[in-house]
Amino acid sequence: MLEKIKNILSQANEELEKVSDLAGLDNIRVSYLGKKGHLTLILRTLGSLSPEERPVVGDSINKAKAELEEKISLKKETLEKTTSKSSTKLLDLTLPGRTPFKGAYHPITQILNEICDIFTSLGFTVSQGPEIELDFYNFEALNIPAEHPARDMQDTFYVSDNVVLRTHTSPIQIRTMQKRKPPLKIIAPGKVYRCDSDITHTPMFHQIEGLHVDKDLSFSHLKGLLIQFLQKFFSADTKVRFRPSFFPFTEPSAEVDIGCMMCGGSGCRVCKGTGWIEVLGAGMVHPQVFRNVGYDPAEFTGYAFGLGIERFTMLRYGINDIRLYYENDIRFLEQFK
């Protein structure tokens, strides 16, 4: 029995030599001195010994326990010292900090915010409307007749016979006018959908609509506003021209071009040799549109305009393929931090 105690003790000493952390040390303590530890268990066998043997073995167990406890607490002290020392060594205050991961807005969102900021600084407030829209708001109330090509299945995503994914942000004009009385001065950014996909078209893209209704607004107000906006967004010397055009919901209607910033107007691939790039659709609100929402066209006039955000972003950054925006390639997106 005494031999056994000796063996246990030397086994424990060996383990103590090797242990290098506090958790390991505690494991040793439990495996020898704990409730089911080697020395505790041996103490329980005392009853089976002869009365002469009992005190000798008991004494030896107690001594062994005391010795081990002492060694463990000594070891604990040294371990505590070395670990705290090494952790101060690890704390090098001169090391550069870790750079936190930083995300950024998508370039489309950045340009959308920038354009909205310009218009809100000019007194416009931001409105919104649903992307899944009734035929009435997307077409009918905007004076787009049933036989108009824009209604063609080729362009419009139909959800059902009279529900579509909006093909432009213009339905927000109608929804806003139905809810409010003039004067009103709103811009309405949002996603729009057309069944189209190539280097300059994606099935989903973003527009910003503008609408200003008041008494005595004329085409010159529209012209002045858009020139101011375009020169603020691109550059103060940007050339702007208005070309007669057609939209069912405006009369007169215009398309707005800016002088090509790639070639300075001499003609290149981007402006297809014309020196001009189309950036906006606009016009005076059609009297029929006013009647459709219960406004009196004899009392009120207004102008409206619409622009594509992908287009503005392409022109700002010289991006030549619209599909890049939606591939989520991190190498592309990281350039807009």
Instruction: State the residues that interact with ligand PHE by CB under 6 A.
Output: 168, 170, 209, 247, 250, 281-283, 304-306
Residue 156 vs 170, nearer CB to ligand PHE: 170
For residue 234, the 8-state DSSP code is S
Taking the C-alpha atoms of residue 223 and residue 250, their distance in angstroms, rounded to an integer, is: 14
Q: Which of 141, 153, 192, 152 is nearest to 169 (CA)?
A: 192
Continuous H helices in the chain: 2-18, 22-33, 38-44, 53-90, 107-121, 135-138, 171-179, 219-233, 287-292, 309-317, 330-333
Residue among 182 and 283 whose Cβ is closer to ligand PHE: 283
Smallest separation, CB 210 to ligand PHE (Å): 7
Question: Nearer to ligand PHE by C-beta: 305 or 312?
Answer: 305
Q: CA nearest 292: which of 127, 147, 150, 145? A: 145
Q: Which two tokens stand for residue 72?
A: 């463990």
115-136 per-residue burial string, b: 16 or more CB within 10 A, e: under 16:
bbeebeeeebeebebeeebbbe
Checking phi first, is residue 181 left (phi over 0); if not, alpha (psi -120 to 50) or beta? beta
| Closer residue to ligand PHE (CB): 32 or 290 | 290
Q: Which distant-in-sequence residues (6+ apart) come within 8 Å of 59 by Cβ?
A: none
Q: In a 10 Å sphere around its CB, with 0-12 CB exposed, 13-18 middle and 19+ buried, how is residue 333 labelled?
A: middle
The neighbouring-strand residues paired with 190 are 207
**Cα 205 from chain centroid (whole Å):** 17
Min dist CB 309 to ligand PHE, Å, is 12
- Between 167 and 276, whose beta carbon lies closer to ligand PHE? 167
Shortest Cβ 124–ligand PHE spacing (Å): 14
Question: Which residue's CB is nearer to ligand PHE, number 32 or number 139?
Answer: 139
Contact at 8 Å (CB) between 65 and 15?
A: no
Nearer to ligand PHE (CB atom), residue 32 or residue 173: 173
Contact of 9 with 37, CB cutoff 8 Å: no
Which residue's C-beta sits nearest to ligand PHE? 306
At closest approach, how far in Å is the CB of 280 from ligand PHE?
8
Tell me whether residue 37 or residue 281 sits nearer to ligand PHE (CB atom): 281
**3-class DSSP assignment, residue 161:** coil
Residue (5 or 135) nearer to ligand PHE, CB? 135
